Every structure is written in C-alpha cells, then in structure tokens.
Structure 1
Amino acid sequence: MTRGSDLLLTAIAPVVWGSTYIVTTELLPQGYPLSVAALRALPAGLLLLLFVRRLPHGIWWLRSVLLGGLNIALFLTMLFVSAYRLPGGVAATVISVQPLIVILLARLLLGSPVRLLAILAGMAGVGGVALLVLTPNAALDAIGVAAAITGAISMAAGTVLARRWQPPVSPLAFTAWQLTAGGILLLPVAFWLEPPLPAPSIANIAGFLYLGLIGAALTYALWFRGIARLEPTAVSPLALLSPVTAVLLGWSIAGENLSGLQIAGIAIVIGSVWLSQRAQLAAGVRAPAASPARP
C-alpha cells in the first residue's frame, strides 16, 4: 500500500472524531463527559478483544495500561478539565500544539530528525485552529491551560510510544488492549466526578453505538495502524482535521454560522497538514515498518 493510501486511511480517524461533539450534543445525555468516554472506550475494547481473542503477555500488560492511560484515559480526562475551565476554542487551540510536541518527543525517543518545515507546519496548524475556533472574548484560566497542555503531551507521548513499542500482534489487537485499559482507568474517575447516568433512550443508545463502534473501535484501529506504518510526525498533524470536521458539521447540520476567519482557518489547517507531509517527502522519508518488539 502506498504512503498516500496510508495517510488517507489514517486521516479517517480524526475526521470521524470531529463528529463527536455534534453526536454528543444531539444524541447523548448532557453533563456526563467522562462516563460517555468510558462507555465509548471500554465496550469497544472488549468487543475487539472478543474478536481478536488475543490478550497481552509479559511486558505488554504494563505497556497496554500505560498506552491506554496516555491515549485514552489521561487525554480524555484532561480534555474534560480543559473544556470545563476554558472556552472550547481556547482548549482546542492549546491542544493543537500536539504535533509540535510530537516532533520533540520523536527526536528524544525515536531519534527522528527535526525538520524546520515540519515545525513551520505545526505553528501554522495552531494558528489555523485559533482562527477556526477562538472567539474575541475568550478568557484564559491557568488550571485549564495546564490541563490542555497535559492532554496534548499525553496524546503526543502515546503516539510516539505506540510507534516505539510496536507489538507482535495486529493493529486490531493493539487497539483492543489500549481501549480496554483506557476504559477501565476511566471508570473510577467517572464514578468519582459524575452522577450516575440516567436510563438510556433510543437516541442515547444510537449515540453510544456510533461512538463505540465507529468513533472508537474503527478509528483507533486506523490511527494505530497509521502510527505503525508512518512516522509519528506525519500522523500527528492529521489530528488537526478534527476541529475542521466539527466546525463544518456544525455549519451544515446544526445551522451554525461560518465566518470568513473560520474559512481562512480551515484553509490554513488543511495547508499545514499538507505542508507537514511535504516535510516528510522533502527529506525522502518513508518510515520503515517498525520491528515488532519482543517481550
């Protein structure tokens, strides 16, 4: 399969993740973000485990818990805290620094070269997201900003470590381990911070099925497959497509206004994603398949 095909398949994940906001607001009970995250991750992970019939072994128990904690539990918890303490646009803008963090971590943990073009693309992506989602009266909160930065670091570290620790199993099994671990880690946090969920309606069930089967099982499998086949610095900028999808869905489905600045932001984000891929090609890089790590 070509690099372009790998990128397109991997990009499906953040595009679908961009629909999470509208699905949550339209189909799910409000005020239960951590409970929703746990119910999104854990059932999907268990379903994949039943399908692949493969449990971690040896060191992979610990690595699965760590990666599930970074990519699922800690990231979603920090996303919830930042969204609670900050306007959504500020939180999204801070978290969009993730590709820049990946560049640094990939250098430290994988020995990947730091490319100026990739840094410029990452900075342009942050600016594009800011135009897309920031409002003039956005306010800052120290705890909220710290949570957003922690979430960005968490996801960036999970992306780089998932590349470094390639297991001797399929991407589906790898995804199952992480979703299950992340869901289990989220359960006590949701139980502690949130009241019990009400009895689900038909719409609630439809929303949970979509987020679990499509928004978790399918998308994370594509995401981790992409990490296994491409450099983390090529994969992480694709996450910027998520706020683009969210804004476009809000405009097309929910009837929200789309300003000229937002249109410019969409163009800049797409341009930054394209530029980040050019940074890889300019260096003549196609990441070799990582050798499966041995326990």
Structure 2
Amino acid sequence: MASTAPRSIAAPNSSLWVGLFHLFVVYIVWGSTYLAIRVGVREGSGFPPFSMGGSRLLAATAILFLVAFITRQSLKISPKGLWVHALSGFFLWVGGNGLVMWGEQQADSGYAALLVASVPLWVAIIEGILDRKIPSKLLIGSLLMGFLGIGVLSFPTFRTGGEANLHSIFALLLAPLFWGIGMVVQRRNPVALSPIVSSGYQQLFGAIGFILAALLLGEPWPNPTPEAWWAWGYLVVFGSLFAFTSFIMALKMLPTSLVVTYAYVNPVVAVFLGWLILHEPLSVWTLGGTVLVLLGVAGTFKHQSQVNKKHATQE
C-alpha cells in the first residue's frame, strides 16, 4: 500500500469519481475475500493456508510486473523502498492475511472479518505509542468500546470452543495487529513507485514469506478441490490484482480518513455473504459484538478527523 499525504475531498471531479470507484471496489471485493479464503482453506479443501497464500501472491506479482513492463513503468527500486516493501509486505501479508487464512480453517468468514475490523484501533494505538502522545478521552473510549466488542464476539468460542477453535481465535486477534503495523510502516515511509509496481513488490515479499512459512511448518503438497481452485483464482484476480491495487489508488486520490472506512463495510459484506452462501449462523453475540466493534472504529475515525482538522488549522 502506497501512502501519500491526504488530499482534500474537494479534488477535481474526475479524480474524485475515479477514487470513489476504487474505494467501492475495495468495499465489495475485500469483503468477499473472506468468503473465498474460507472456501479455499476449510477442512477438506486440499489447500494448506500458507501454500495457498504464497502461490496466490506469486501469480499476482507476475501479472502486475508484466503489466508494469508492458506499460513501461519503471521497476527500479531504491534500497529504502526495498526494506519498506519487505517489512510492510511481511506484516501485511504473512502476519495479517496469513493469520486470517490460518484462522479461517476453523473460524467462519464473517467472524474473521469482524475481528479484522479492529485494524483502525490497532493503528491508533501504534501511532500513539510512536508519537508519544497521551490519547484523548474519545480515543480511549473508542478503543475500550472496540475491544469490548472483540471480547463479546470471542466469548462464545472461549466458553465452548475446542483447542483448534481457540487457536483460530488467537490467530484472528493477532492478524489486525500485524496488518496495522504494516500500514504504519508504509504510511510513515513513502516510496516513489507507481501503484502497480508498489503492489507487485509488496506481494512478492509476501509470497516469499508465505513460502518460507509453508516450508518451516511442513505443510503438505496442495491437492485442491475444484471449489478451492475457484476460490484461489478469485483471490488472485479480484483480491490481489484489482482490490489491492484499487486500495493504493484510493489512497492517492482520496483522504485517508475516507479510504479507511473500508473497515466498516468489509465485515458487513463478509457476514452477509457467509450467511447467504455458507449458511454461517448469526447469533446475538455476533450482532452485539458487531455493533460494539463498529462503534469503536467509528469513534477512532472521529478522533483522527479532529486531529487532522486541528493540524490543518495550525498550518
């Protein structure tokens, strides 16, 4: 994800509408990838999670670099760009997406999306620590609200779940933390690369990390079902090529505070698709936890908006 200084929403109309189109792609496609991951890695699919992730990203990287070569975009990367993409690629893909895939071997897709919606909460905590700033009452309340929601979502599994399910919960709790670290690394170390090339390098390093993880864990050779292959193809084409690149484009064309609203929409899409297609249950715990998590995320966004307005006034 390439990070640039937030731009005003009052951008030229063409740029605004193109940016909103890319954000809409992120809203829908990233929400649906949780369903595709669940189909690809659930028991009996024949796709170990890290093998699936590594092969998916290698395919996407090859396509992105081919497109960049054909359109004569420079693939040259500086030493700084190399380490930024390597570090952020590891945290975003192996730590973030990888733990989601590992957790979704047992956990429902909608549930996974709801836990990952806590990414903005983690980003706020990480940036507060790095900036050594005392959080506002609004931010503290929002963080407490969001993590209370996570507790409500997780409580039924902790109460009745087996060991495998508990491991999945811990993986899904760690995933948004790693994703948040990756976002902060990328945001605070901007690199002059085109969105396609930046996306390609990040996914290349993510693929390397996935392959190493698969080897270290001794994952069996993949033997995917036709259904799992369809899920893999969807993740390559729509998850990696379209949505990830659209995310980068949206960050360039729209204010960051608007782009990160994907954290509101993705869980709603994921829960609906999981219920509609995989018949995943919707319990009172799920609905209550969802409300608390989204309220926490909303408060975090409001806090960030107030900070941005304060900085703009001072300038």
State percent identity of aligned pairs. 21
1:197 partner letter? P
Q: State whether residues 159 and 236 of structure 1, in contact with CA within 8 Å, keep that contact through their aligned partners in structure 2.
A: no
**1:139-163 CA deviation, whole Å, 9 max, x = no partner?**
6899877755654432111101111
Aligned twin of 2:36: 20
Aligned twin of 1:57: 77
Worse-superposed segment, 34-43 or 103-112: 103-112
Is 1:195 the equivalent of 2:211? no
**Where do residues 89-128 of structure 1 align in structure 2 (5 Å cutoff)?**
98-109=119-130, 114-128=135-149
Worse-superposed segment, 141-150 or 9-18: 141-150
Worse-superposed segment, 252-261 or 131-140: 131-140
CA separation in 2, counterparts of 1:261 and 1:153?
Answer: 23
**For 2:179, which of 155, 160, 165 is the aligned residue?**
155
**For 1:180, which of 195, 204, 211 is the aligned residue?**
204
CA separation in 1, counterparts of 2:115 and 2:232?
Answer: 28
SS of 2:280's partner is coil
2:51 partner letter? S
Gaps of 5+ in 1: 289-295
**1:48-85 CA deviation, whole Å, 9 max, x = no partner?**
1111233242221222211211111233444456667x
**1:164-185 CA deviation, whole Å, 9 max, x = no partner?**
1222122222111101111122
Gaps of 5+ in 2: 1-7, 11-15
Worse-superposed segment, 177-186 or 239-248: 239-248
**1:212-251 CA deviation, whole Å, 9 max, x = no partner?**
11112222223344555545x8766744654443332221
Larger RCO (alpha carbons 8 Å, 6+ apart)? 2
Relative distance call for 1:95 and 1:47 in structure 2 (3 A) is same
Is 1:41 the equivalent of 2:48? no
**For 2:9, which of 2, 25, 32 is the aligned residue?**
2
Q: State whether residues 34 and 76 of structure 1, in contact with CA within 8 Å, keep that contact through their aligned partners in structure 2.
A: no
Relative distance call for 1:113 and 1:227 in structure 2 (3 A) is farther
Relative distance call for 1:177 and 1:112 in structure 2 (3 A) is farther
Aligned twin of 2:95: 74
2:77 partner letter? H
Q: State whether residues 121 and 273 of structure 1, in contact with CA within 8 Å, keep that contact through their aligned partners in structure 2.
A: yes
The alpha-carbon deviation at position 106 of structure 1 amounts to 1.9
Aligned twin of 1:264: 288
Q: State whether residues 26 and 246 of structure 2, in contact with CA within 8 Å, keep that contact through their aligned partners in structure 1.
A: yes
TM-score (norm 2): 0.71
**Where do residues 113-262 of structure 1 align in structure 2 (5 Å cutoff)?**
114-132=135-153, 134-135=155-156, 136-138=159-161, 150-192=174-216, 193-198=218-223, 202-226=226-250, 230-231=255-256, 238-239=262-263, 241-262=265-286
1:172 partner letter? I
C-alpha RMSD of the superposition? 4.0
Q: State whether residues 17 and 242 of structure 1, in contact with CA within 8 Å, keep that contact through their aligned partners in structure 2.
A: no
The alpha-carbon deviation at position 96 of structure 1 amounts to 5.7
Q: State whether residues 58 and 204 of structure 2, in contact with CA within 8 Å, keep that contact through their aligned partners in structure 1.
A: yes
The alpha-carbon deviation at position 2 of structure 1 amounts to 2.6
Number of aligned positions between the proteins: 285
Worse-superposed segment, 43-52 or 100-109: 100-109
CA separation in 1, counterparts of 2:278 and 2:172?
Answer: 26
SS of 2:160's partner is coil
The alpha-carbon deviation at position 254 of structure 1 amounts to 2.2
The alpha-carbon deviation at position 265 of structure 1 amounts to 3.0
